[in-house]
Structure 1
Amino acid sequence: MDSEQPTTARGSAPLRADARRNRDRIIAAAAQAFAVRGPDLPVEEIARAAGVGIGTVYRRFPDRDALIRAVAQETVRSAMAHARAAVIEEPTAWAALERFLRQSHEVRLAVRLVIDSPGARAAMEDDPEIYELRRVMLDVLDRIVHAAQAEGSLRADVGTGDVAAAFLLLVRPLIVPEADTAASALERCLGVLLDGLRASAATSLPGEALARTALEH
């Protein structure tokens, strides 16, 4: 039997080290499984992939929605950390933007959760922590976008909402037989998107720039 304490409520004592390790393994296994097979696979398979008993999963996450929320929180948190690291480590705002768009595997998973399962979408939309994490991540992207425009590398007639919306449209799962083909197609489309975002792009865009607030709800 797995040795760990019962689930702790927010604001109570932190999990013991072994309980925390089990929780992290479950979330990592669930994230991997959701990315490959969607959020509706049996919890028993997630437990087996994490190397824990089914009872351990349910002690940490009383139902599937709780597990989905935890995976979503971790994926958005990780994407936000990547965005902040790009701002600090890259020499230009354009390089930070390109790095964020190319490396946001976590955002792709969150999008798949929303698309593949109405239950997952409801679980995520009702969670205030996920909403706050999304808001903060949009803040980071907003700063990158404005910095790239200020340095003259990003076209001036787009808004943060345009960049985010285009990326989200691209990361929807592509239904093709081979996973490698889907991954290659996504990378090529990201390249096309980045070229279209460059300040040197010649074609003017229709309508008004989409602000980040257009994606908040």
Structure 2
Amino acid sequence: MAGETPGLRADARRNRDLIVTAARRLFLDQGVDVPLEEVARRAGVGIGTLYRRFPDRDALLRAVGEDTLRRLADLVETAQREEPDAWHALCRFLRSSAELRLGELSARLDPHLHQRIRAGHDLAEIRQRVVTAVLELTARAQADGALRPDAGPLDVAMLMTLSVYAPPGVPGDQAVRRVMEIMLDGLRAGGGSGLPGAPPAEDDLRRYTAVDPPPAAD
């Protein structure tokens, strides 16, 4: 999470977390070009405090991207730990990803951060945690007979970035929940028509997330 920043005093860490949280919400609602003064105002800190933590907009964008990756890792690992089986954990994780508005946030951040986030060695471990959990959940849910056999981990990863346009008058959160439930029903074993093409493999997921395969054992 955003608070996992070593070397900061408690008050400085709290201010940093407030800024990242406010920035994330404003980037989603108004775009990444929102004035940094508005980010500081929404966070309840002075603009000088913001600039001490984040010297420019790119630094703040990166912090929001890193925080989102950490949230994803926490969400999927919590689902694995607390749900009774892989299928329920997978469904919980996908619902949580939709509630996080991951698809919208990725669409806003990726043009600015795509290569830096994917190439950041400091984030490799976090990306690996998410990929490992998705691979494990997909394999276990299929072995249990709950997940359709022609779906793969890349399909799950793409559903993580679900983004739904809600027309005026339709609550956005409700629209996302409805579409997610329709999609989860489509992932269940025994339902729906066959999917086009071959099932995506583990390597497809790793290319999608820029995570290298683990080294072969000696």
Counterparts of 1:63 and 1:174, CA distance in 2? 31
Q: State the SS of the aligned residue for 2:74.
A: helix
Q: Quick one: which amino acid aligns to residue 196 of structure 1?
A: G
Counterparts of 2:169 and 2:124, CA distance in 1? 34
Contact preservation (8 Å) 2:101, 2:163: yes
> 2:200 is matched with which residue?
210
| Structure 1 residues not aligned, in runs of 5+ | 1-9
> 1:26 is matched with which residue?
19
CA gap 1:212/1:33 in 2 versus in 1, 3 angstroms: farther
Aligned pairs for 1:48-59 (under 5 A) are 48-59=41-52
1:74, CA displacement in angstroms? 0.9
1:127, CA displacement in angstroms? 3.3
1:95, CA displacement in angstroms? 0.6
Q: CA RMSD in A?
A: 2.2
CA gap 1:216/1:70 in 2 versus in 1, 3 angstroms: same
1:106, CA displacement in angstroms? 7.0
Counterparts of 2:104 and 2:194, CA distance in 1? 31
1:172 corresponds, among 163, 176, 184, to 163
Contact preservation (8 Å) 2:99, 2:173: no
Counterparts of 1:189 and 1:157, CA distance in 2? 21
> 1:83 is matched with which residue?
76
Aligned pairs for 1:1-217 (under 5 A) are 14-105=7-98, 108-109=101-102, 111-116=103-108, 118-121=111-114, 123-168=116-161, 171-174=162-165, 176-178=167-169, 180=171, 182-214=172-204, 215-217=208-210
Counterparts of 1:112 and 1:167, CA distance in 2? 11
CA gap 1:132/1:175 in 2 versus in 1, 3 angstroms: farther
Q: TM-score, normalization: structure 1? A: 0.83
Q: State the SS of the aligned residue for 2:154.
A: helix
Contact preservation (8 Å) 1:39, 1:120: no
Contact preservation (8 Å) 1:47, 1:57: yes
Q: State the SS of the aligned residue for 1:104.
A: helix
Question: More displaced, 132-141 or 121-130?
Answer: 121-130
CA gap 1:178/1:64 in 2 versus in 1, 3 angstroms: farther
How many residue pairs get aligned? The number is: 202
